[in-house]
Amino acid sequence: MKVLVEKHPLAIRWFHWVNFPVLSLMIWSGLWIYWANDVYRLGWGSTTLLQFFPDSFYRAFKLDHKLAQGMSWHFVLMWVFFLNGLAYVLYTAISGEWRYLLPTRHSFKEAIQVTLHDLGLNKKPLPVRKFNGAQQLAYTSVILMGVGSLLTGLAIYKPVQFGWLTNLLGGYAFARILHFALTIGYVLFFIVHIAQVVRAGWNNFRAMVAGFEIREVNPATGETVAGPPTMPAAEASLSPAPRA
């Protein structure tokens, strides 16, 4: 029997879909800042340490000499990013969603098993839960990365006013390196995350859009007999759907 299984609450979906474009635009405006002035680059002139793209890329997309625009967009979006992230953390704390997201002492071992499974090196079935160990580590790490980006960004933007913070982060130069490293981390996360979404298929993607997925359930036991490894049907809110 096919049923609709509730998976992601509206709030989680809202925070997810707000955060994705905001973070993407922050990275884009960060490129404007990075390329606009040698002061904001890791090195300068021919000795630039981190030149993410060739000069032709910045010229083609008109990213050069846009320091004021880049900083304006970056700091406006920073507030949206911060408030959305804060609301997300508060929601998970109040609603109890943190129980699914927070890593446990078994998460690291389970993350290795999930990675081997995705690479085709481990044929054992994955844990039947809403979020497995790899997802718990990844999503929790992104939250911590968000905090790190805000702190390092403030240390770079106001190194005098927030001198204590800049010093705590190892000085202006090291805070800047951390800020860029976190940005690279977001890009890598996006790549892996999108690849996993494509791999999981439409049913999984629909869950983050509409909040539910279609699952094949044994009517006698209420257990899932087909579908991606998520919460057991007995633990989810089920509502019958027409047979396909």
Tell me which DSSP letter residue 39 carries: G
Instruction: Please name every residue paired with 182 in a beta bridge, in sequence order, or none if there are none.
Output: none
Q: What is the pLDDT of residue 163?
A: 93
133-157 and 67-95 helices cross at what angle (nearest 10)? 140
Q: What is the pLDDT of residue 37?
A: 66
H-type helices in 96-132, by residue range?
Answer: 98-101, 107-118
Average pLDDT over residues 137-145: 91
Rounded to two decimals, the pTM is 0.73
Q: What is the pLDDT of residue 236?
A: 36
Range with the lowest mean pLDDT among 69-73, 187-191, 198-202? 198-202
The phi and psi torsions of 238 (rounded to 5 degrees) equal -105, 145
Average pLDDT over residues 96-101: 86
Please determine, for residue 148, whether its predicted confidence score (pLDDT) is greater than 90. Answer: yes
Question: Tens digit of pLDDT for each residue in 207-225?
Answer: 888 888 777 776 666 666 5
Locate 2 and state its tokens: 């096919």
